[in-house]
Amino acid sequence: MNKTTSGWINGFLGVLFFSGSLPATRLAVMDFDPLFLTVCRAAIAGLLAGGLLLIFRPQRPVRNEVLPLVLVALCVVVGFPLLTGVALQYVTSSHAIIYIGLLPLSTAIFGVLRGAERPKPIFWLLSALGSCLVAGFALANGATSSPLGDGLMLASIIVCGYGYAEGARLSRRLGGWQVISWALLISLPLMLVLSLYKMPQSWDSIQVSSYLSLAYVSLFSMLIGFVFWYRGLAQGGIAAVGQLQLLQPFFGLLLSALVLHESIGWPIFIVNIGVVMCVTFAKRFASK
């Protein structure tokens, strides 16, 4: 298997794991404060990541990689989970998932700025078209119903796009699981302190579904998903593999319907057919 194919497979697996993040977060914030959920998931994943680093003892980051790792931690360990967690108090999971379709464009832009990639002009056209399909669908289905929720989701997309591109750039030298592990370890002390500070006063009223959702976002969304995702971006190219995120709303909406019983209309499937076509053709014009 060549490197590019491996990159697309790893990227696709990462997208599958991430697809459950918003539905799980939506369930979790029904009982947990969004800030507690953010810091607790990072603390749990950080402890696991610290164990991995202790067992396998990979090469340590050099001095000029420390600041980028801190920025990755601020973006994907703290920023994106916190912004989406707060946003999900104002919008539904199926509504928020629509904005994930904007992530490929955000990731590609930062891939050019930070990863020195130069996709062809037609790639940008296809990427923008896919993003417009997603954003247009959101606007047509009440994206202005909660300006605060929608604004937070847009901010999370910008933050996450930068974190993906920066992490992928570091993964080319450090490796995929090492990057997210070091980022989690850097943030671990603060996350542990904040977890204890924001801990619920009573655990009696918290549902089992919230505990399971916390476990999912801690293990799969915060750690395992990034192992595959960063590896895929590093192998197949940030801009190219990043287009797979256009498929995430489709998987996420299906999960929202199955787990949260949120209604999704047939137009979303038409939109996603157009999105899949954009991903397919954009792949041909995204050079590493």
Q: Averaging pLDDT over each range in 125-139, 144-158, 171-185, which range is the top one? A: 171-185
Pick from 236, 215, 256: nearest CA to 19? 256
Q: Quick check: 271 pLDDT over 70? A: yes
pLDDT for residue 288: 47
pLDDT for residue 183: 95
Write the pLDDT tens digit of every residue in 24-60. Answer: 988 898 899 999 999 999 999 999 999 999 999 998 9
Residue spans per domain, the chain: 3-285
Question: Can you give the pTM of this predicted structure?
Answer: 0.85
Write the pLDDT tens digit of every residue in 115-139. Answer: 677 777 888 888 788 777 776 766 6
Half-sphere exposure of 271 (CA within 13 A, CB side): 25
Residue 124 in tokens: 């940008």
Q: How many CB atoms lie within 10 A of CB 112?
A: 15
Percent of all residues in the chain with a pLDDT value above 90, rounded to a whole number: 43
* Helical axes 93-100 vs 21-28, angle rounded to 10°: 150
Span 100-107, average pLDDT: 82
